[in-house]
Structure 1
Amino acid sequence: MNSAGPEIPAKSHGPQGGRSGARALPELRELLFVADHLGGHARVETLATLEHGGFDFPLVAIHLGPNDPRCPALALFGGVHGLERIGTRVVTAYLQTLAQLANWDRGTQALLESTRVLLIPLVNPVGMYLQRRANGNSVDLMRNAPVDAEDMSPWHLFGGHRISPRLPWYRGATGAPMETEAQAVCDWVRREIFPSRVALAVDVHSGYGNLDRLWFPYARSRTPLATLPEIMALKKLLDRTHAHHVYRIEPQSCEYLAHGDLWDYLYDEYRVAQPEGVFTPLTLELGSWIWVKKNWRQAFSPLGIFNPRLPHRERRTLRRHIFLFEFLLRAVRSPSAWAELSAERRERLLSQGLALWYD
């Protein structure tokens, strides 16, 4: 995969006890390069510094728009699983586009006066450096929240387990605190998103299926979530605005159940903190099997299963989802179209959502 790009000088972000991890990880080097050239459009924050193999890997968060966390917000995440490098590259590519638009486009400048864009493009830098799904402690960060799935066999390893860190999808030991990366993401979301009355999040993954899916909670349960009418309204808005979009929108539980999902955990917490608000976390699951189908040799490489290896396919993926992020950014700025529903419309949309996804 042509992921390294041009040689980019690494700069320091946060406390450094060893060598900069940007020297060892192209995706981190690219992210720090972009962050160092955002100028006055953004604020860059290091949430934690992860040490591994003599390198320091910063966990970088980027803020565009107003400082007020009560403003509408779109949050983007990538690289939760270290093998899924393309997720980090997709989020970083959009950050580059948005930063350039903020330089000259009056529409983008006006939008960012009232709407926030929040990004953590690389949640698991150590796992990406090690070329494995889990973090440096062999814990799957998307199975690490203190949430248990309903009616799932304890031997269903794919959904998360506590048997051994030697096996994939390990949740961590019973009673152990959340991993540094997962805890940092949760704390940051509580601080930057929970005060907002309208927010959307997209967490970019790959490695499942041959089409692009947009999943919404729950992963732990097949119970419909409280804001199903708003999600149905958002789906209809996307269908009308981009009639030929490629996404299958569905609850994650339509495909499989999982323990410890961070977005289930944060969605339920937000509902307690903001019972009248609307926070919808989405998982963009890129259909990577189509890349393997077109280039079967990728099936013999761990990275090949999760990432496009040919340069033209990678470029296509990097530009493919920009319209989705732009749509969602406009949606949080204009919530009356989907998030401010009358009682009658909520009831109608609830019936439609139940029929579409749960019957």
Structure 2
Amino acid sequence: MPCAMAIWRVYLLPLLLLVLLRAFTSLPTQAAARGGADPSSGTDDGKHGSFSRNLLQDKPEITEEMTRGYMSNSELEIAVQDFGRRCANVSRVYSIGKSVNGSPLWVVEISDKPGKREAEPAFKFIGNVHGDEPVGREVLMQLAYWLCDNYLKDPLATLIVENTHLHILPTMNPDGFALRRRGNANNIDLNRDFPDQFFPINDDINYRQPETRAIMSWIKQEHFTASAALHGGALVANYPWDGSRDKRKQYYGCPDDKAFRYMASVYSQSHYNMSLSKEFRGGITNGALWYPIYGGMQDWNYIHGGCFELTLEISDVKWPKASELLVIWKQNKMSMLNLVASLVKTGVHGRIFAADTGRPIPGSLMVKGIDSKISASRTFGDYHRILAPGESYEVVASMEGFTPKRTRIMLERESMNLDFILDPDGAAGQTKRLPRDDCGCSCDDDGKPFLIREAYLWLYLLVVFFLLVLYLLFRRRISSRLARNPPKRPVAV
């Protein structure tokens, strides 16, 4: 008996305490505690602006003659599906939603591995944001076909297809195009319908247009590095911010102002004549300096998606004759190609890993002196940071539960590869450091949260352990009783 009690005190009791401690520290409430808002957002949601750009207040009548030669919505849909079949080896076609009147918002993805996650930057083009600015839908289809036809023939086409994922949405506003007006079927200007950083009036997503919600969901699903929306009515590359806090017309640069000016210059300098503009120096402009708008798409992309978006005005005339479309395509062709290729040719690229497991982690990257951050992908831990070349930068990689690492680089004209291996900081538990996959949480193969499954497992083992202890105690009590009172055996006579 004393021996059994000693075994209980020395072995079983500590083991029981260890199991209890491990079980309670593994409960899923610990995982929930590590959530919270992304501090990089820095804004509240807002209502689509009631402000407008005076430059585009004119509403010229769009005649039947003007529309002749442009693809209708049904013809554009046929062209997109035809492209998907013809270029199936380097593309896929998918929809991100529907317009007010039910027209699908078709997207063409171009890559050597379309539809697959890769440690590569992603770029998106969006056309026809305003219904009466249809040039983008025509030019973007020309771009798609050119990349398909010139893959493995032209070095620039091959670079883009093999090293990026390019997503093309030819029309964001098919209803406005059909109605020949700026707004959508509800007559809402879609480029005033996004949450605004300066005027957070309406936070309810349900009051936004379906086309706007589709874009917002799309950006949350894809890990876009950069983007461009094609407009008409001027010839200039516009960059954030698009408005200012006091609503005055003034230069109001965002934290990555140098990087945006570099991107805009890449487009302008590659254009046939954009950089020669007499109205805009170098063919580029800050949006707030040109004329402020609120609820614009490019600012929302940058703030909430970490996506560097430009607004490209690619035609002086909003609805030019169809006979001019081929010329406009040729004038913008190299600009579009060079803008996408700049994601690979310049900037800092790399991956973030955990030192203890060697696995990629979805950390974040910041640059000292620039009040913005970008996040690495959840699948591969890859990041792609756009920076203006020819300068020195101090780059910092971090993630909750790990010790941040920083290094200083000199970024030349070419891109730089820079991986980070982060050491666990020792203060956070393992549950805070598990890499996440694309479901947005720490998951195992069947998608069930790992921490919850682990907690269930330990609770199960705890119950089994208690049952085993009770069984052993019961056996010991029965054995001691039998030793004191042995049963009487029958005697043969």
Provide TM-score, normalisation by structure 2: 0.50
Matches within 5 A, 1:163-202: 176-194=206-224, 199-202=225-228
**Residue number in structure 2 paired with 1:259:** 294
CA distance in 1, matches of 2:243, 2:71: 42
Partner SS state of residue 218, structure 1? coil
Asked if the contact 1:73–1:117 (Cα under 8 Å) also holds between the matched residues in 2, the reply is yes
Q: Does 1:203 align with 2:229?
A: yes
Flag structure 1 segments of 5+ consecutive residues without an equivalent. 9-20, 151-161, 163-171, 272-278, 292-305, 350-359
Asked if the contact 2:266–2:339 (Cα under 8 Å) also holds between the matched residues in 1, the reply is no
Alpha-carbon deviation of 1:50? 3.6
Asked if the contact 1:200–1:328 (Cα under 8 Å) also holds between the matched residues in 2, the reply is no
**Residue number in structure 1 paired with 2:337:** 326
Report the residue type matching 2:294 in the other structure.
Answer: H
CA distance in 1, matches of 2:188, 2:71: 31
Alpha-carbon deviation of 1:315? 1.9
**Residue number in structure 2 paired with 1:354:** none
Partner SS state of residue 342, structure 1? strand
Aligned-pair identity (%) = 20
1:299-351 residue CA offsets vs partner (Å, 9 max, x unmatched): xxxxxxx211261x22211221010011112210112496265239x9xx9xx
Matches within 5 A, 1:1-359: 22=74, 26-50=75-99, 52=101, 56-65=102-111, 66=113, 67-68=116-117, 70-102=119-151, 104-105=153-154, 108-147=157-196, 149=198, 176-194=206-224, 199-207=225-233, 209=234, 212-221=235-244, 222-234=251-263, 246=275, 248-271=283-306, 279-288=307-316, 291=317, 306-309=318-321, 311=323, 313-336=324-347, 339=387, 341-343=391-393
**Residue number in structure 2 paired with 1:153:** none
CA distance in 2, matches of 1:258, 1:236: 22
**Residue number in structure 2 paired with 1:166:** none
Partner SS state of residue 118, structure 1? strand
Partner SS state of residue 208, structure 2? coil
Report the residue type matching 2:237 in the other structure.
Answer: L
Alpha-carbon deviation of 1:281? 0.5
CA distance in 2, matches of 1:143, 1:88: 20
Report the residue type matching 1:64 in the other structure.
Answer: I
Asked if the contact 1:28–1:122 (Cα under 8 Å) also holds between the matched residues in 2, the reply is no
**Residue number in structure 2 paired with 1:352:** none
Report the residue type matching 1:255 in the other structure.
Answer: W
1:4-50 residue CA offsets vs partner (Å, 9 max, x unmatched): 65999xxxxxxxxxxxx61xxx4444344334432221011111234
Provide TM-score, normalisation by structure 1: 0.67
Partner SS state of residue 320, structure 1? helix
Partner SS state of residue 68, structure 1? coil
Report the residue type matching 2:332 in the other structure.
Answer: H
CA distance in 2, matches of 1:220, 1:268: 13
Report how many aligned residue pairs link the two structures: 279
Distance 1:239 1:88, change over 3 A: closer
CA distance in 1, matches of 2:89, 2:198: 44
Asked if the contact 1:102–1:108 (Cα under 8 Å) also holds between the matched residues in 2, the reply is yes
Report the residue type matching 1:326 in the other structure.
Answer: L
Q: Which has the larger radius of gyration?
A: 2
CA distance in 2, matches of 1:80, 1:242: 21
Distance 1:240 1:82, change over 3 A: closer
Partner SS state of residue 71, structure 1? coil
Flag structure 2 segments of 5+ consecutive residues without an equivalent. 1-64, 245-250, 276-281, 349-385, 395-407, 412-493
Distance 1:137 1:235, change over 3 A: closer
Partner SS state of residue 62, structure 1? strand
CA distance in 2, matches of 1:146, 1:217: 15
Asked if the contact 1:69–1:191 (Cα under 8 Å) also holds between the matched residues in 2, the reply is no
Distance 1:187 1:316, change over 3 A: same
Report the residue type matching 1:307 in the other structure.
Answer: W
CA distance in 2, matches of 1:138, 1:243: 34
Distance 1:325 1:110, change over 3 A: closer
Distance 1:216 1:5, change over 3 A: same
What RMSD over aligned residues (CA atoms) do the two structures have, in Å? 3.5
